[in-house]
């Protein structure tokens, strides 16, 4: 009975702003090691027996991010499902179950958020294989984490009767919403309560059967959106009209809290953390004798119990206790560790003001490479553009700006109107307003160039696309 991993990648991760942003959320960041969180999620599957290629669920904006990050670690996905809108986990898992059933009527799903940390991967593998034993018998299995403190930010699972001899597997007696501090403390003292990790092992057919019982509209629109989906290589673009009509409900509320088949595998030593805030990330970071976790170019004096991260420049901190300081190219966060959850309020303010810092970094990733703003002023803007080997931008034109390209590294093949020009280092070309143009890297190393834009309007939405390798919707 093969296990089909389902990696859920649609989150925005606003509680880890300014590093995690709407267009580049935390699952694509290297927060706890040399690999990103989504890469870590995919890599820890390798030890599980009878594991299939993962089904990844994300959105159109992030599709090339996840595809490239999986390619970097040599993982080929079975499918990358593109949700036209977010409809929570019940619908995402339903579509994944339908895809898995195309392989076998006995398929199991191992559902994993893409942004969790698990320190003890062998323990995770063992827990997954135990969960598979009971899931194949028709149980819908969640992974419960033994609580280490009376945490009020997690939902809890209360266990019922034991299911397997010699294994910490139980029927679920009840799911409990996030408790207050006194209730959480009582759960710790009573025992038999576990944090709800948001990870599941489900038989695909059983999940769909229970979903049709309790939330038939979700099951229906999952089927309709998949049957009308467009397939583009590994990408499965769900039908927007059908999927948008699905109710927006989590798998917990849609099925797990209602079904009579819920079970839990209780895990004690996974080293699990959902890093839902800077405080949570600080708790699992290596600290110096003063209790500080430091990353990047950081100097401190009389600092204690703090998390300090410098991404682009020197950060110096003096005489503070229990704070979070995070520096990026275009934003700096300073917060008391006990108020780190409130960073989402700053993100809300940014959104209300229409500022880009909630969505994009100064360096913006594109399927062909990246661009980074260097300078801007009245009627001009300067960018550093990097194009991956073999990649190309769309064939496009602009109504309101002209561009000057100067190659600083590599080789560029430029379409400029009706001419094609090969440019090498220190060579340049000028593209007048309204002229059709394209940039291609024909070489074996990244192409780097400086782009100087000039004109009355310099927004990214002043792009008319005529051809595009990456299937992006034309902009105007």
Q: Which domains does the chain have, with CATH numbers?
A: 3-273 (3.90.550.10), 278-343 (no CATH), 363-467 (2.60.120.10)
Helices 216-227/88-101 angle, 10° precision = 50
Which residues in the chain come in under a pLDDT of 50?
475-476
For residue 350, the surrounding DSSP H or E stretch is helix 343-353
pLDDT at 105: 94
Kindly compute the dihedral angle of the four CA atoms of residues 431, 437, 443, 447, in this order, to the nearest 10 degrees.
50
CA angle, residues 342, 41, 470, in degrees to nearest 5: 90
3-state secondary structure of 296: coil
CB 372 within 8 A of CB 408: no
pTM exceeds cut of 0.85: yes
Nearest to 92 by CA among 77, 111, 108: 111
Q: Which residues contact 220 (CB under 8 A, 6 or more apart)?
A: none
User: Positive or negative CA dihedral for 336, 340, 342, 348?
Assistant: positive
pLDDT at 270: 87
How far apart are the C-alpha atoms of 289 and 282, rounded to whole Å?
Answer: 14
pLDDT at 469: 85
How far apart are the C-alpha atoms of 451 and 453, rounded to whole Å?
Answer: 6
CB 215 within 8 A of CB 257: no
pLDDT at 166: 66
pLDDT at 21: 93
How far apart are the C-alpha atoms of 412 and 393, rounded to whole Å?
Answer: 11
How far apart are the C-alpha atoms of 254 and 118, rounded to whole Å?
Answer: 26
């Amino acid at each position: 009975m093969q296990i089909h991993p389902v990696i859920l990648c649609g989150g925005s991760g606003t509680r880890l702003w300014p590093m995690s942003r709407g267009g580049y959320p935390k699952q694509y960041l290297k927060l706890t090691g040399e690999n990103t969180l989504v890469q870590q999620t995919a890599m820890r599957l390798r030890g599980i027996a009878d594991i299939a290629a993962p089904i990844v669920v994300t959105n159109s904006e992030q599709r090339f991010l996840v595809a490239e990050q999986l390619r970097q670690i040599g993982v080929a996905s079975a499918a990358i499902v593109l949700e036209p809108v977010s409809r929570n986990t019940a619908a995402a898992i339903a579509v994944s179950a339908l895809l898995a059933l195309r392989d076998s009527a006995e398929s199991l799903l191992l559902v994993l958020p893409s942004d969790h940390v698990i320190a003890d991967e062998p323990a995770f593998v063992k827990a997954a294989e135990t969960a598979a034993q009971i899931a194949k018998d028709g149980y819908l299995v969640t992974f419960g984490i033994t609580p280490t403190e009376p945490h009020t930010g997690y939902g809890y699972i209360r266990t019922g009767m034991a299911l397997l001899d010699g294994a910490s597997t139980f029927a679920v007696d009840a799911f409990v919403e996030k408790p207050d501090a006194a209730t959480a403390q009582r759960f710790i003292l009573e025992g038999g309560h576990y944090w709800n990790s948001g990870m599941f092992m489900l038989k695909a057919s059983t999940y769909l059967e229970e979903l049709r019982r309790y939330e038939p509209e979700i099951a229906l629109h999952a089927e309709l959106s998949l049957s009308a989906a467009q397939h583009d290589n590994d990408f499965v673009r769900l039908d927007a009209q059908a999927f948008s009509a699905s109710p927006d409900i989590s798998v917990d509320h849609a099925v797990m809290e209602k079904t009579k088949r819920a079970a839990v595998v209780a895990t004690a030593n996974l080293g699990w953390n959902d890093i839902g805030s800077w405080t949570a990330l600080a708790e699992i970071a290596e600290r110096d004798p003063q209790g500080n976790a430091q990353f990047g170019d950081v100097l401190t004096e009389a600092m204690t119990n703090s998390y300090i991260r410098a991404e682009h420049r020197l950060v110096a901190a003096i005489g503070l206790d229990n704070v979070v300081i995070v520096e990026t190219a275009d934003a700096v966060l300073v917060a008391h560790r006990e108020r780190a959850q409130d960073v989402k309020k700053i993100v809300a303010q940014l959104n209300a003001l229409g500022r880009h810092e909630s969505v994009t970094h100064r360096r913006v990733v594109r399927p062909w490479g990246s661009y980074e703003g260097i300078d801007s002023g009245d009627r001009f803007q300067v960018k550093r553009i990097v194009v991956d080997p073999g990649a190309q931008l769309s064939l496009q034109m602009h109504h309101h700006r002209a561009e000057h390209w100067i190659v600083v590294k590599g080789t560029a093949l430029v379409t400029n109107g009706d001419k094609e020009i090969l440019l090498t280092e220190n060579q340049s070309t000028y593209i007048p307003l309204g002229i059709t143009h394209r940039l291609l890297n024909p070489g074996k190393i990244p192409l780097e160039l400086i782009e100087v834009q000039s004109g009355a309007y310099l927004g990214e939405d002043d792009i008319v696309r005529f051809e595009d390798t990456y299937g992006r919707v034309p902009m105007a």
